């Protein structure tokens, strides 16, 4: 049974169709990448899964349970944690306090919540910033804080919304290592990402959206060869040229 | 969260011990005016702290707290005057009624965010003020005048000296401040601040923000009502303009803002500065006309908003930062 099963999800904002009949599934223990050009509806889909938006149509099953349209705090309680594309640190609170808000979800006892929070801070390499106000962090650290805070809620499924975008190349490598480590600890990951170097090596499956519609769902190696994906990213002309060149190579 | 004693704990318990022993200082509280000022400081600090729980920690600015204060005052007043009994049951009923009223009022209001929530709470004060003015069963515009009874804790009334009121105010202060201190260190405290700093983020971490805000509101109203009950007992009377007014609501807000919003000691510091100022200007500068204290009060608030919006606690933090590097340089 897939951990997350999105069935015919449709999200409409007025006359704008942000997601149209999108279906895909996420198997437990895997990393699934959600890619697509700007405006493809990736974040909208995320927000539907995380409960920030109520889908206009379709169903979302998490762990075999219909969670369509549940408020986000209930979805978080069921075991879905998310990060935000535009980072949202609780600015006036310290890094530790931010992560504590996450860990209090499963632990009422302050001592236990503190222990879990400390562990998550350590896992995300943020120990040196533990007592700094979250608003003062660099972008790289804010992105890591998003992950640490989400981890503290002890999720089954972690939704990462462009956690790598905007980082320096060293930070990208650190983040990829961190994501791998999170997967190794048994947490399933669905991530939206633009940086292909970050997502292609670690994803088990890639789902490609374009104009709100799913155009591919396959392992990374297959997706990069997919004609519709190349068209979506590089345009019709380039796709045709590539196809012609490939055929020429094939004939030779 | 281990059981080691932190310096801030020492400060708190030291302060409580000092306050408890204050009446033992010879001749200090014998002057009934000094005692009066001390009592008002404890009362207004408690009021500000009860507001701080919602307005400071949770970030929901309410101008409606005089309503809950008033309901609490009437709870005590009705028990004393209408039912001719001890105020204690009335105090409890009043506080519970205030908590219930606050939940009913705020449920629709919490759909409004930021300034719009604050504006909605303004209107509520006027509604309750008018309602209590015309409600004859509770005395209408005349209010309720207390009978003079024996000095005792049973009647919560002392006419010969103010020591009883002082300890009553101290008990209130300890209750309100200890509760806020406990909340600050437990889950609710973190959730309150998370809702203030980012409601959607808090929700994504499993925080039911509506429930958190309602709990903060109900607790805050309950505590404000206890303060109101004390106020009625202390003044031997209660009438609508005395307790349910925008002027009274503003005191909850401004004392906290002066001291430092969302900080534990802010409400106390605000009260320590504003109450003596208010009482002494009223006593010694009244020949200049009424409202001199409010003019000074207003000027201080304006100055504070311009120079340090985080209040006295902000000023203290600045001083600490300034003196910090200098001190370490001396050590070298």
Mean pLDDT by runs of 10 across the 332 residues of chain B is 68 91 78 89 97 94 94 94 90 96 90 83 91 89 87 86 91 97 95 94 94 96 97 94 91 92 94 90 76 78 84 89 59 38
> To probe the interface with A, which of B1, B58, B111, B201 has the most A CB atoms within 10 Å?
B201
Task: Find tokens 């009334």 and name the residue.
Answer: B157
Rg (CA), chain B: 20
CATH superfamily placement of domain A4-220: P-loop containing nucleotide triphosphate hydrolases (3.40.50.300)
pLDDT in the model for residue B4: 60
DSSP summary character for residue B4: P
In chain B, residues with a C-beta closer than 8 Å to the C-beta of A50 are 204
Specify whether the CB–CB gap between A49 and A11 falls below 8 A: no
Is B200 part of a structural domain of the chain?
A: yes
CA distance B190 to chain A (A): 6
φ/ψ of residue B32, rounded to 5: -70, -20
Q: From CA B127, how far away is CA B245, in angstroms rounded?
A: 10
Number of CB pairs < 8 Å for A and B?
Answer: 79
Contact between A76 and B197 using a beta-carbon 8 Å cutoff: no
- Taking the CB of residue A156, how many other CB atoms lie within 10 A of it? 16
Contact between B206 and A153 using a beta-carbon 8 Å cutoff: yes
pLDDT in the model for residue B331: 40
Task: Identify which of B251, B249, B237 has the alpha carbon closest to the alpha carbon of residue B74.
Answer: B237
Contact between A91 and B197 using a beta-carbon 8 Å cutoff: yes
Domain count across chain B = 1
Instruction: Say if B197 is an interface residue toward chain A (CB within 8 Å).
Output: yes
Q: From CA B219, how far away is CA B58, in angstroms rounded?
A: 12
Beta strands in chain A (DSSP E): 4-13, 16-26, 31-35, 57-62, 65-66, 80-82, 157-161, 188-192, 205-210, 213-218
Q: From CA A228, how far away is CA A215, in angstroms rounded?
A: 7
pLDDT in the model for residue B297: 78
Encoding tokens for residue B254? 């401004």
Nearest chain A residue (CA) to B190 = A101
Specify whether the CB–CB gap between A143 and A162 falls below 8 A: no
Specify whether the CB–CB gap between B268 and B176 falls below 8 A: no
User: Per-residue pLDDT tens for A133-166?
Assistant: 999 999 889 999 999 999 999 999 999 998 888 8
Encoding tokens for residue B26? 């010879």
Output helix, strand, coil percentages for chain A, rounded to the nearest 5. 40, 25, 35
> To probe the interface with B, which of A50, A54, A73 has the most B CB atoms within 10 Å?
A73
Q: Side by side, which strands form the sheet with A16-26?
A: A16-26, A4-13, A57-62, A65-66
CA A4 vs CA A59, A222, B264: distances in Å: 11, 22, 44
In chain A, residues with a C-beta closer than 8 Å to the C-beta of B207 are 73, 101, 105
DSSP summary character for residue A217: E
> To probe the interface with B, which of A72, A96, A107 has the most B CB atoms within 10 Å?
A72
Residues 23-52, chain B: which have Cβ within 8 Å of A? none
Rg (CA), chain A: 19
Task: Identify which of A138, A147, A141 has the alpha carbon closest to the alpha carbon of residue A99.
Answer: A147
Of the partner residues A74, A92, A101, the one whose CB lies closest to the CB of residue B205: A101
Nearest chain A residue (CA) to B198 = A90
Residues 6+ apart with CB under 8 A from A12: A18, A56
Is B288 part of a structural domain of the chain?
A: no
Q: From CA B38, how far away is CA B282, in angstroms rounded?
A: 15
CA distance A102 to chain B (A): 5
CA distance B234 to chain A (A): 39
Contact between A81 and B185 using a beta-carbon 8 Å cutoff: no
CA distance A197 to chain B (A): 28
Strand, coil or helix: A58: strand
Q: From CA A137, how far away is CA A57, in angstroms rounded?
A: 39
pLDDT in the model for residue B325: 59
Task: Identify which of B308, B149, B156, B123 has the alpha carbon closest to the alpha carbon of residue B231.
Answer: B156
ipTM: 0.89
Mean of the per-residue pLDDT values of chain A: 91
Instruction: Say if A101 is an interface residue toward chain B (CB within 8 Å).
Output: yes
Cα B118 → chain centroid: 17
Instruction: Say if A73 is an interface residue toward chain B (CB within 8 Å).
Output: yes
- The number of residues in chain A equals 252
Query: Quick one: average pLDDT of A113-123?
Result: 95
Specify whether the CB–CB gap between A208 and A36 falls below 8 A: yes
Is B172 part of a structural domain of the chain?
A: yes
Task: Give the range of the structural domain holding residue B232, as residue numbers without chain letter.
Answer: 7-245
DSSP summary character for residue B5: P
Q: From CA A242, how far away is CA B132, in angstroms rounded?
A: 81
CA distance A110 to chain B (A): 6
In chain A, residues with a C-beta closer than 8 Å to the C-beta of B205 are 73, 76, 81, 101-102, 105, 149-150, 152-153
Is B310 part of a structural domain of the chain?
A: no
Task: Find tokens 């001749």 and name the residue.
Answer: B27
pLDDT in the model for residue B329: 43
pLDDT reading at A127 higher than 80: yes
CA A137 vs CA A114, A252, B199: distances in Å: 21, 56, 20
Task: Identify which of A56, A71, A70 has the alpha carbon closest to the alpha carbon of residue A12.
Answer: A56
Nearest chain A residue (CA) to B310 = A92
Work out the end-to-end distance of chain A between its first and last CA atoms, rounded to an integer number of angstroms: 45
- Taking the CB of residue B299, how many other CB atoms lie within 10 A of it? 10
Contact between B204 and A92 using a beta-carbon 8 Å cutoff: no
Contact between B205 and A105 using a beta-carbon 8 Å cutoff: yes
CA distance A48 to chain B (A): 12
CA distance B314 to chain A (A): 13
């Amino acid at each position: 049974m897939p951990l997350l099963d999105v069935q015919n999800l449709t999200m409409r904002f007025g006359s704008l169709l942000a997601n149209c009949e999108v279906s895909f599934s996420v198997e437990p223990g895997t990393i699934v990448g959600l890619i697509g050009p700007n405006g493809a509806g990736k974040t909208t889909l995320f927000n539907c899964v995380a409960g920030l938006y109520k889908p206009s149509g379709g169903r979302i099953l998490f762990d075999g349970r219909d969670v369509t349209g549940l408020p986000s705090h209930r979805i978080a309680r069921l075991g879905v944690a998310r990060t935000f594309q535009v980072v949202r640190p609780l600015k006036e609170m310290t890094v530790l306090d931010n992560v504590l808000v996450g860990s209090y979800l499963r632990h009422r006892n302050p001592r236990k919540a503190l222990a879990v929070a400390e562990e998550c801070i350590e896992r995300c390499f943020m120990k040196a910033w533990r007592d700094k106000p979250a608003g003062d962090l660099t972008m790289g650290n804010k992105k890591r804080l998003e992950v640490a805070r989400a981890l503290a809620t002890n999720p089954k499924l972690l939704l990462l919304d462009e956690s790598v975008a905007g980082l320096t190349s060293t930070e990208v490598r650190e983040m990829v290592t961190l994501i791998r480590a999170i997967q190794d600890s048994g947490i399933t990951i669905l991530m939206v990402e633009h940086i292909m170097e970050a997502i292609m090596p670690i994803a088990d499956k890639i789902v490609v959206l374009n104009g709100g519609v799913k155009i591919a769902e396959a392992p990374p190696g297959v997706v990069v060869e997919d004609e519709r994906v190349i068209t979506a990213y590089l345009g019709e002309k380039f796709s045709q040229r590539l196809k012609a060149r490939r055929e020429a190579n094939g004939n030779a | 969260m281990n059981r080691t004693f932190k310096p801030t704990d020492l400060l708190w318990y030291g302060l409580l011990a000092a306050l408890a022993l204050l009446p033992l200082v010879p001749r200090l509280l014998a002057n009934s005016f000094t005692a009066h000022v001390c009592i008002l400081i404890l009362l207004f600090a408690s009021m500000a702290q009860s507001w701080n729980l919602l307005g400071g920690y949770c970030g929901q600015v309410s101008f409606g707290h005089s309503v809950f204060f008033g309901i609490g005052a009437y709870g005590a007043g009705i028990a004393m005057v209408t039912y001719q009994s001890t105020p204690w049951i009335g105090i409890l009923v009043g506080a519970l009624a205030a908590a219930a009223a606050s939940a009913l009022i705020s449920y629709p209001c919490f759909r409004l965010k930021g300034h719009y929530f604050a504006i909605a709470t303004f209107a509520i004060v006027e509604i309750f003020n008018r309602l209590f003015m015309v409600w004859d069963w509770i005395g209408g515009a005349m209010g309720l005048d207390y009978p003079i009874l024996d000095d005792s804790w049973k009647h919560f009334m002392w006419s010969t000296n103010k020591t009883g009121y002082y300890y009553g105010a101290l008990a209130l202060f300890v209750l309100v401040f200890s509760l806020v201190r406990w909340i600050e260190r437990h889950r609710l405290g973190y959730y309150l601040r998370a809702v203030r700093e980012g409601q959607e983020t808090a929700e994504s971490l499993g925080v039911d923000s509506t429930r958190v805000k309602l709990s903060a509101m109900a607790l805050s109203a309950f505590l404000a009502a206890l303060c109101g009950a004390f106020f009625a007992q202390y003044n031997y009377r209660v009438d609508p303009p005395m307790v349910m007014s925008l002027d009274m609501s503003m005191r909850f807000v401004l004392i906290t803002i002066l001291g430092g919003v969302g900080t534990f000691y802010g409400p106390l510091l605000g009260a320590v500065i504003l109450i003596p100022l208010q009482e002494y200007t009223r006593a010694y500068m009244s020949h200049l006309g009424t409202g001199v204290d409010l003019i000074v009060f207003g000027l201080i608030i304006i100055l504070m908003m311009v120079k340090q919006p985080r209040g006295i606690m902000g000023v203290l933090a600045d001083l600490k930062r300034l003196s910090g590097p200098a001190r370490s340089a001396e050590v070298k």
